[in-house]
Amino acid sequence: MSNVIVKEDVEHAVRSYFNTMDFTIERYEERQFSDAKVGFMGRHFRITAWVTISGTQKQIDFFAKLAPTSETQYTAKTTSNYFTKEVFTYTDLAPRLNSCLPQGNTLPLPRCVLGRDEKTSTHDRRILILEDVTRKNYKLLEDVRPLDFAHCKAVLKSLGKFHASSLLLQGSLVEEKGKTRQEVAKSVFRGDSLNWMSSNNWAMTCARSMATASALLWPERFAESTKTVIEKLDRAWERVYAMAYDSDKYANVLCHADLWINNMLFSYESNASGEEVPVDVVFVDFQFVHYTPPALDVLLFLHLCTHRDFRNENWRSLLEYYHSEVGKYIPNHTLKEVYPLSSLFESFEEFREYGRLKSTGYLPTVLEGLVPKHELDVQEPDVLVGMLRDRGHQIYRYCQASEAYRSRIEESFQECLEGLDLWN
């Protein structure tokens, strides 16, 4: 059986990884991942190469991501430039952002050894090859259950560094003729092309799925008011779309915009009691990056990865911790000028609906790992086809099959409905 990933691309990856031309690839193997574990769009592979360098054989592992093969998925991904955004982030922005961090610090993301965004009418050569950070003892969590305080701090520690690099890069820019520094920064970060959320069709589908599921979960409240719920949700999605652009009021940074459990890998160390505690996080899947206020990243992360009671109790201390991590990389006088803590709190309050609403669109899919496998519907050949239909009845069935799933969905939906004054 022939390999999907050609030898020339593996050679390029090895050359970039070891920074040498003096090597020989003895052989290499590829193994495809289950998309359900590592991502919903694209094809994902682990590459293992056996390489001889200066007479010594070494084994090196990479993670590879290719464009999807489904025609419908392919068209949607091309239209929204998801793959283009991810390649641009790894190959253009990441090196610039890394260069701005204090010496000895690097961005919390895997090292990219090949990024190519080339497609013709007959060949699709788009590919990303990254270092396999699992070989550095980073690992995905085993399930999608809510994070505790220690894991949240580890995530926000890395997110603080990631966002700080954007502020540092913007601070190094100079005004150009006819452009302010903010306009120059927007050009560097490709704000216009990056800040494209999911399609209107997806948002409309999310609204209808939530309305249908809510009528089934709480018939006494919503069975007779589905139309009203949909209308209010549609307007809310319009507001959320408007938030997903750069702001004239708040500082803007490169936001990951997809911080759920499977897009983070944790590393651990033993504490004095011998317990393993999370100490670092790397982020993956940068296909949804936005140039927006950083509070949007924090909000979506908290709504996707924690319980409502936990957020209500800890949001202030977590924001303070995150802001202190940003401050480790930025001079204090600069931080107070461009991104004071008061601005973070104000933007967090202003954009709360972004986290409440957007998570209702994500959670029904990302929480499917809580549902017994035999209860899951047969997966659509193209995952986007499944996402662009009313999934309300499916969500309700999954709630009946899994108490853990039901608890998270009901909590998320209720919080959103309360925010829209629909929970009467």
Q: Are residues 127 and 207 in the same domain?
A: no
DSSP state of 119: B
Instruction: State whether residue 291 is helix, strand or coil.
Output: strand
Helix (H) or strand (E) holding 52: strand 43-53
Q: Show the tokens assigned to 246.
A: 């750069």
| Sole residue written with tokens 């809310």 | 236
C-alpha angle 143-60-159 in degrees, rounded to nearest 5:
45
On the CB side of 68, CA atoms within 13 Å amount to: 21
Q: Show the tokens assigned to 221.
A: 């409240």
Strand partners, 52: 24, 57
Residue 25 pLDDT: 96
Residue 79 pLDDT: 47
Q: Which residues in 169-200 are b (16+ Cβ under 10 Å) and which e?
A: bbeeeeeeeeeeebeebbebbbbeebbbbbee
Q: Are residues 106 and 215 in the same domain?
A: no
Instruction: State whether residue 199 is helix, strand or coil.
Output: coil
Q: Are residues 124 and 207 in the same domain?
A: no
Count of Cβ atoms closer than 10 Å to residue 121 Cβ: 5
Could you tell me the residue range of the domain that residue 54 belongs to? 1-131
Rounded CA-CA distance 251/381 in Å is 41
Q: Are residues 3 and 127 in the same domain?
A: yes
Rounded CA-CA distance 206/314 in Å is 28
Q: Are residues 18 and 100 in the same domain?
A: yes
Final residue belonging to a domain, choices 131, 159, 180: 131
The dihedral region occupied by 307, where left means phi > 0, alpha psi between -120 and 50, and beta the remainder, is beta
Residue 383 pLDDT: 62
Q: Show the tokens assigned to 206.
A: 């999310």
Spans in the chain with pLDDT lower than 50 = 37, 79, 197
Final residue belonging to a domain, choices 89, 116, 131: 131
Q: What is the reported pTM?
A: 0.93
Q: Are residues 106 and 22 in the same domain?
A: yes
Cα 198 from chain centroid (whole Å): 13
What tens digit of pLDDT does each residue of 368-387 get? 999 999 999 876 656 666 67
Q: What Cα–Cα distance (Å) separates residue 258 from each residue in 65, 74, 169, 230, 359? A: 17, 20, 22, 24, 10
Q: Are residues 124 and 1 in the same domain?
A: yes
Helix (H) or strand (E) holding 24: strand 24-32
Q: Are residues 119 and 1 in the same domain?
A: yes
Number of domains in the chain: 2
Strand partners, 62: 47, 131
Final residue belonging to a domain, choices 131, 162, 191: 131
| Sole residue written with tokens 């966002």 | 163
362 touches 409 (CB < 8 A): no
